[in-house]
Amino acid sequence: MARYFLKGNEAVVVGALVAGCESFYGYPITPASEIAHAASEYFPTLGRTFLQAESELASINMVYGAASTGQRTMTASSSPGISLMCEGISYMAGCELPCLVVDIMRAGPGLGNIGAEQSDYNQLTKGGGHGDYLTIVLAPNSVQEMIDFAILGFDLADKYRNPVVIAADGVIGQMMESVSFPEDYTPLYQDKPWALTGDKNSERRLHTSIYIENDELEAHNMRLQEKFSRMKAAEQRAEEYMTEDAELLLVGYGSVSRQLKAVVNNVRQRGVKAGLFRPVTISPFPAVRLEKCIRGKKRIVVAEMSSGQLHYDVKALVGNDIPISLIGKLGGNLIEEESILREVL
Amino acid sequence: MKKIFKKSDGFYDTFFRKPGDDKQSTTYCSGCGHGIVHKLVAEALVDLDMLDKTTFISPVGCSVFAYYYFKCGNIEAAHGRAPAVATGIKRALPESYVVSYQGDGDLAAIGTAEIIHAANRGENITVIFVNNAVYGMTGGQMAPTTLIDQKTTTTPRGRSRENEGMPIKVAELIATLPAPVYVERTSLHDISHIMKTRLAIRKALRFQKEGKGFTLIEVLSQCPTNWKVKPDQAGEWIKKHMLPYYDLGVFRDTSREAEQRTGGPMNRKASDHLKPGKLMEKIGIKSESESLHSSFSEKMTIDHELKIRIAGFGGQGVLYLGQILCQLALKNEYRATWFPAYGPAMRGGTANCSVVLSNREIASPIFSMSDILVAMNQPSFDKFSPFVSPDGYLFCNSSIISVEPDYEAELRDRRIKLVSIEATSLAEEAGFSFSSNIVILGKILKTLPYFHKEDVFSLIKRKFRNKEKLIQFNVKAFTLGFEA
């Protein structure tokens, strides 16, 4: 199988192209800009649309327009830009329009800096925009997963008619690794009887999130909630590494999970029975898997590049039965293996 | 008897989406201008044979429910965002027509950026801009187009120039841009002006149909409810208050010069479904596994995670040196990760990257202690030399780095092998001062023969394809480093 050496930010674009994404609307921001660079190069080469919008608000609303036609479409940004896009994501969830949003998370709040953080966790998994909605949030920890999740993300978006987010931290966006592509791929869920097609078929089709009658809106929301329940039941994903006999369970996602894996390898050599639980979907949170995984564990350590946002969800599930501690690194600083070792040994 | 005044065929026969029992009348107040503008647009879409191919964008504001009425594809946009939504639709369906219908709060306040940029890109859409100098739906607050001294629920003392600024003249503003094809302001205050509005709307839609580009019609329209006048007095109100400030007429018409947009970048057709391999070929991304020289007999093998840090000035090829090491590893069926220190540090100043090569899955691309440090300048040497593991290697560009004898002794104590190479001067000797990274690569592979030099040459050839001179310089640089 052909191997390619790609940067995370480039890989997610190529993955999207493989998935049949027809248009990219975006606005540059570090550390996500290479996504726009690659998209501006490759989309037009393939006869697809790339447009640099005037803002993140415009980007997500162009995506909203493109998605309403049934086209696979995407945007990408980093944390401050995602904050602006939350308006549009809420509208798209309300209208049930599919799209892929890539967030290369940087340090906040406010302008913060361009270092890697994971502090968009709450924004992405708990809403961000207004109203009761949920998006599927995939958290890659390798360049390969930037490709795999771009493809999976579009399939899930179309399956549920809902925005899907790829939440990668700056490390995953910036790093290079060797990757491969599926030999062949055909987009799933391409029957879209709801799409605006610019012809007579669309005469009675409408995309709106306004339901002026309370009862109608409630009914609409109940339908959405039912869909979100299905998403929660079917789309929880997690990776476990050496958890079977582990007494010490490390929990982390994204690039942090790579460091945690190195720590597991390291301390296993010293006779410490450690294992790694990595949420692959941070929304829906893989509660079912984690609940099973924590059985018999003596200690849990959560590591994240944020101030306990993941820890909160883990703690909510674990309760007080197992001691649980947090390594939360902020400010764009990476968590070094040594600091995890200090905590766990 | 022939009906001469009837509901347009551009409207749904019954307004099935409208809640309540009355599915025939609109949601608008009596005397409101929206009903008139709706009818003019609907009739034009039918008469120009555009209706079936039209997507109508309803805005936020009183016309939020325009989709109750227009018999075509409908979509509702967030406040101010309609021109962006229109852009997404039109780019996806370039053969179709898009009408973006917006009020003054929507278009001229919260959506200023979107309208200006859609206009400036010359999107082939038609914007109907209804200006009634007030926020209707929200309860009669000030709009960007509210007139000086006009009382609204947020300007109870009247709009003042000092506090709120002057009313925005949208048509004039949009007409200053080079791209729009047709911009006109009309009014609904009497029959003859309604007829002029009718013509303007038809013209704008026709230009879209002809592929000419962006059109905007600003319509001065009645809001008797919020103006607190009787419906039959609202036309008078426009005449008295709006016309003195808002000139009517055509502000821009380049329809004659406007080129047909067909075939331009906006008219891209959906691309064929390509298999990934074919797709990669088309966008020019090459695979890493084309040639192997792994028969090299004296080759060292990597049987652990080899952690390499490369640091120097931006512009010394620090990042590329890391990448080429990864590519060499991949050619030889190892795993490799590359991670740069990114951001402002890369825009002048220092640069560094972390490389991990391994014969198995690489856990983390990040490390603090390295097995190999390549220091290309003094600050990098000073910063990173304390973080080299025992038995590690420190490659140092001795052209610009000086190592104190005391420190050399300390490195020996730490069992670190210091390998000095005059990288900067050898690069100059090779004829290309930017190739000090490749000089060092030569030295690394001489010291640690993990990879065959033929692999290096093929990667150099690929990197600088069609630039014969650069290939020669870099091959020479490598050889000088290898033999130094």
With a pLDDT cut of 90, the percent of chain B lying above it is 86
The 8-class DSSP code of residue A126 comes to S
Assess B414–A contact: CB distance below 8 Å, yes or no. Answer: no
Contact B88 A64 (CB under 8 A): yes
Assess B280–A contact: CB distance below 8 Å, yes or no. Answer: yes
Q: Residue A71 pLDDT more than 50?
A: yes
The 8-class DSSP code of residue A334 comes to P
Helix%, strand%, coil% for chain A, nearest 5: 40, 20, 35
Structure tokens that stand for B364 in this block = 């983390």
Structure tokens that stand for B247 in this block = 């000139």
Contact A58 B269 (CB under 8 A): no
**What does the pLDDT average to over B117-144?**
96
**What does the pLDDT average to over B469-477?**
96
The 8-class DSSP code of residue A202 comes to G
pLDDT tens string B238-282: 999 999 999 999 999 999 988 665 444 454 555 668 899 899 999
Q: What is the pLDDT of residue B5?
A: 82
Assess B209–A contact: CB distance below 8 Å, yes or no. Answer: no
Q: What is the pLDDT of residue B298?
A: 66
Q: How far apart are CA A272 and CA A144, in angstroms?
A: 30
Structure tokens that stand for A5 in this block = 């050496």
Q: What is the pLDDT of residue A72?
A: 98
Q: What is the pLDDT of residue A275?
A: 98
Nearest-Cα distance to chain B for A282, in Å, is 20
B434-457 burial, b for 16+ CB within 10 Å, e for fewer? Answer: ebbbbbbbbbbbbbbebbbbebbb
Nearest-Cα distance to chain B for A50, in Å, is 10
Structure tokens that stand for B84 in this block = 């962006």
In the chain, the amino acid numbered A219 is A
With a pLDDT cut of 90, the percent of chain A lying above it is 97
pLDDT tens string A227-281: 999 999 999 999 999 999 999 999 999 999 999 999 999 999 999 999 999 999 9
pLDDT tens string B356-369: 999 999 999 999 99
Q: What is the pLDDT of residue B264?
A: 45
Q: What is the pLDDT of residue B293?
A: 53
Assess A156–B contact: CB distance below 8 Å, yes or no. Answer: no
pTM, two decimals, is 0.95
- Pick A25's closest partner by Cβ from B77, B88, B273: B88
Which candidate, A181, A186, A128, A119, places its Cα nearest to that of A155? Answer: A186
Q: Residue B310 pLDDT more than 70?
A: yes
Q: What is the pLDDT of residue B2?
A: 78
Q: Where are the alpha helices (DSSP H) in chain A?
A: 8-18, 33-45, 56-68, 79-95, 121-125, 143-160, 170-174, 214-234, 255-269, 287-293, 309-318, 337-344
Q: How far apart are CA A166 and CA A263, in angstroms?
A: 25
Contact A207 B93 (CB under 8 A): no
**What does the pLDDT average to over A48-67?**
98
Q: How far apart are CA B116 and CA B120, in angstroms?
A: 6
Find residues 311-370 of chain B whose CB sits inside 8 Å of chain A. 323, 326-327, 330, 335-340, 342-344, 362-368
Q: Residue B343 pLDDT more than 80?
A: no
In contact, A18 and A185? CB cutoff 8 Å? yes
Structure tokens that stand for A64 in this block = 């909203």
Assess B3–A contact: CB distance below 8 Å, yes or no. Answer: no
Q: For tokens 């972390």, what's the residue?
A: B354
Find residues 308-327 of chain A whose CB sits inside 8 Å of chain B. none
Q: Give me the DSSP letters along A242-275.
A: S-TT-SEEEE--THHHHHHHHHHHHHHHTT--EE
| pLDDT band, very low/low/confident/very high, at B296 (cuts 50, 70, 90) | low
pLDDT tens string B28-83: 999 999 999 999 999 999 999 999 999 999 999 999 999 999 999 999 999 999 99
- Pick A61's closest partner by Cβ from B84, B95, B280: B84
pLDDT tens string A145-195: 999 999 999 999 999 999 999 999 999 999 999 999 999 999 999 999 999
Alpha carbons within 13 angstroms on the beta-carbon side of residue B426 total: 26
In contact, A235 and A285? CB cutoff 8 Å? no
**What does the pLDDT average to over B449-477?**
93
Q: What is the pLDDT of residue B274?
A: 86
Q: What is the pLDDT of residue A78?
A: 97
* ipTM reported for the complex surpasses 0.95: yes
Q: Residue B474 pLDDT more than 60?
A: yes
How many A×B Cβ pairs under 8 Å? 254
Residues of B in contact with A30 (CB under 8 A): 342-343
In the chain, the amino acid numbered A33 is S
Assess A269–B contact: CB distance below 8 Å, yes or no. Answer: no
Q: What is the pLDDT of residue A127?
A: 86
Which candidate, A317, A266, A310, places its Cα nearest to that of A290? Answer: A317
**What does the pLDDT average to over A195-203?**
97
Mean pLDDT, all residues of chain A = 97
Q: How far apart are CA A91 and CA B252, in angstroms?
A: 34
Mutant choice from A1, A6, A37, A61 vs B, greatest count of B C-beta within 10 A: A61
**Phi and psi angles of residue B38, each rounded to the nearest 5 degrees, phi first:** -55, -45
Q: How far apart are CA A146 and CA B93, in angstroms?
A: 29
Alpha carbons within 13 angstroms on the beta-carbon side of residue B314 total: 11
Q: What is the pLDDT of residue B286?
A: 87
Assess B93–A contact: CB distance below 8 Å, yes or no. Answer: yes
pLDDT tens string A113-126: 999 999 999 999 99
Assess B241–A contact: CB distance below 8 Å, yes or no. Answer: no
